[in-house]
Structures are given as C-alpha cells and as structure tokens.
Amino acid sequence: MEVKETGRLLAPAGQLFEDFTRLNPELIAEDDDLGSDFDVCIGRLENRDLIRRLSFGDYVLLQPELLDAYASALVIAAKNEPDGLGSISEDRALSGHFHVPEEERIGDHKQEQLLLHATVEELVRYDLALRESAADGRYLVFPSQFNRDYAEAPDPPGKAVAVTFEGPTQSIYATLAVRLGHSQLFETARTEMWRNAVIFTARAGGKCGIYLQEVGEGRGRVLLFFEGATEETRFHFEEYVVAHINRRALFGSMQLVRLFVCKNCNTPVPDTYVELLREQGKHLFSCPCGGAVIIADPKEMLARRYPSLVESMDQAADRQRDFEAFVLSANAETHSSRLSSGQATSASLWRSSSRMWSIRQLWASAWVMNACTRSARVILRRAVSSSRSTRGTKSARSATA
C-alpha cells in the first residue's frame, strides 16, 4: 500500500516482495511461508479493487483505475471512428494511438505499453470486444459502439420474438453479441453490425438477428428476427438469447412475447388478439386476408424435439474468449520481457506463480463471468458518462464503485 501511495504505476510482484522483506527482515524468521502469505495479501488487495495482477510479466498494477480510464478512452475512440463501425485497429490500440484525456495519459512510454496490452486483454476477457481479422489487419470490435443505424429498425422483417428486461441494457447487448459470435453455431462481422442490431450467419445456414431498443432508463427490448433459418436454428438462437438475458438482467424482470405473422399477407397479428384468443383456448387466428395463423407457443414442443445447446454454446464462447485473451496475454508477455530485460527480478518463483495465475484464469470461467458483469458495467458506465461530459472522468470510478 505504501508503494501504491507513492503513485507508482506498475511493479513486478517479485520486486514488491523483495522490497517488503528488505524492510521487514524480522518476518522472514517468523514466517516460514512468507511468500505464499504475501501472495494471499496481494489477492485480498485485488479483491478490493485496490490493485490488479496482470496476466503477464509478473506485474502488479498499482493504480487499477488507469486501466478503466484507458479502456473507456479506447471504447470512445472506436465509437468516434469515421467509418462508424465501432472498431479500432488492434495495432493502434496497442500502440496507444488514440485520444486519452491529458490528465490520465501515462508519461512513461514503456509503462504505458504494458497498460495498453492489459487494457485490450481485459476488454476481450470481459466479452466486451470481438477480435476480427480483416484484409488490412486485426480489429477490436465493440458491438455497443457502432454509429450507423440499421435501416430496417425498428421493424425488421422476419421478427419473431421480443424479449423485454430490466438491467444494464448496453452491457447485456454487447456481451450477447460477442458471446453469440464466439458460440461456434453463429458468426458475425463488423459489416453485419449496426448501432443497435447485429446479424449472425448460422453455421447451419440462414440469418439470425438481434435488435435492441432501449425503452427507458435501464429497460430494454431485444427483438429476434430470422431469414432462411431452420426451426432448429431459430430454437437454439432464441434459447441462447433468453438464457443470456435471464442471467444478466434484474432477477425476474425478463418477459418474452412471441410475435406471430400471417404468412399470407405478412402482417403481424396484434398481441391483444393473441392474448384474447389464447384466453378462449383457441390456437388459430383467422386473418382478414383469408390466411390462418397458428398462435400456439411452440417452445415446449421444440424443447422436446431439440436438446438444449446453451451449455455447449457457453463453453465454446468461454473457450474462444479465453483463447483470444491468452493470445493477447502471451503477446504482452513477450513485450514485457523485452521492455524489462536488464532489470529482471531474481524471483523466478513469482514468475511461475504468475503463469499459474493465467492458467487458473483460463479454467475459472464461472468466476470470470461474475467479474465480467461487474467490470463491464463499470467500464460501460464510465464510457457513457465520459462521452456525455469529457471532463470529470476521474470521479466516475468512485461514483460507480
């Protein structure tokens, strides 16, 4: 804590430990496992958000609020790109070629490099960014930061289901887009994303889309729409969206309304008619055009027909995200050893425990998921509040904490 208060940004954990034992030599005799106890203390400080262990280079970030500051600056930079594609080239992100408020910009270039790597890794680890390979390089894509509007909104053709919920709408939407894109069953690209809509191509064929409407403070409505997708594909898509929203929205706030459309004249059946007919035990709507629309909820029947893939889609999304984060971390490891060569610490034990840390993180998906929701909220709220006012970013973190 004393080192943190000096304002120092980063320190190798091994060096912190060495400094600690030099200042408190009597403790070495008293505690024969001082190294592990020190590690536990570092973990406790991290749990209180006072420091952050980086997954590479054995580093401890002593001013973790800077990581949030850089993350929101990066997200805003992606939003402000003239192409409106909510993305920024990974090279630009990692080299810091984007606007960071002067009072938050780190003067030391080497240290900034390490923080930039940690920032990008963190955004990927929290399901807030997709990494996309394009012809001109790799991009970090932020589904909630697109500027262009989806032309078919708010009435996309093929809409079939509306899911309403209360909670952090933007982070629920962004993480849903990223996780669906990593689910192995569906994929998407920047060209298929808009401010509030994403279209996925199903591996099994056809298109599945989500469209987000924010209907009030902390209230959202996600419309699902389909084109050329089979009943089974639609079932898995809907089930995953519902599971994702249910998990992250306020408990009990999610509601699903199935939209029925007359295949003959393409007109949606009004919700009130569906409700009235169902109350009378009827499952058929006679359209004025002469067509008939089945208004029975097919969910139960489909659930019997198709086994749920939510769990395996989640596992695929975790694996893909962890892989991307791991690649970034490994890059950063190379980078940090280049930067710190000549001032390496002798504590090899610390290095190995830091590697263990990243491997543990790979498997601790459940823990990561919880941390994600929390951190995604902080980062997104920060991004929103700093885009509303460019000043006062320093107080944003304490306000949201």
| Residues found near Zn ion in the complex (CB under 5 A) | 262, 264-265, 287, 289, 291
Give the nearest distance from C-beta 273 to Zn ion in angstroms.
Answer: 12
CB of 235 to Zn ion, least distance (A): 25
CB neighbour list of residue 361: distance below 8 Å, 6 or more residues apart: 55, 125, 322, 368
Distances (CA, A) of 383 to 72, 164, 172, 265, 395: 5, 24, 15, 44, 13
Q: How far apart are CA 147 and CA 78, in angstroms?
A: 10
**Residue 209 Cβ, how far from Zn ion at the closest point, in Å?**
23
Shortest Cβ distance from residue 259 to Zn ion (Å)? 14
Q: Please state, in angstroms and rounded to a whole number, the distance separating the CA atoms of residues 259 and 280.
A: 18
d(CA 24, CA 167): 48
Secondary-structure breakdown of the chain: helix, strand, coil percentages, each rounded to the nearest 5: 50, 15, 30
With respect to Zn ion, which residue has the nearer C-beta, 24 or 264? 264
Closest alpha carbon to 200 in 143, 138, 122: 143
In angstroms, give the least distance from the CB of 161 to Zn ion.
Answer: 20
Shortest separation between residue 286's beta carbon and Zn ion, angstroms: 9
Q: Minimum CB separation from Zn ion for residue 291, in Å? A: 4
CA distance 180 to 177: 5
For Zn ion, the closer CB: 254 or 274: 274
Q: Which is nearer to Zn ion, 76 or 293 (CB)?
A: 293
* Smallest separation (angstroms) from Zn ion to the CB of 231: 21
Peptide bond into 154 cis (omega under 30): yes
Q: How far apart are CA 244 and CA 370, in angstroms?
A: 13
Q: Are 106 and 112 in contact (CB under 8 A)?
A: yes
| Distance separating alpha carbons of residues 72 and 361, to the nearest angstrom | 23
DSSP per-residue letters across 113-180: HHHHHHHHHHHHHTT--EEEEETTEEEEE-GGG--SPPTTTTS-TTEEEEEEEES-HHHHHHHHHHHH
Comparison of 36 and 264: residue with beta carbon closer to Zn ion: 264
Q: Which is nearer to Zn ion, 10 or 262 (CB)?
A: 262
> Using alpha carbons only, how large is the chain's radius of gyration in Å?
24
DSSP secondary-structure letter at 57?
Answer: T
- Rank residues 269 and 362 by Cβ distance to Zn ion and give the closer one: 269
Give 289 or 359: the residue with its C-beta nearer to Zn ion.
Answer: 289
Least distance from Zn ion to the Cβ atom of residue 164, Å: 26
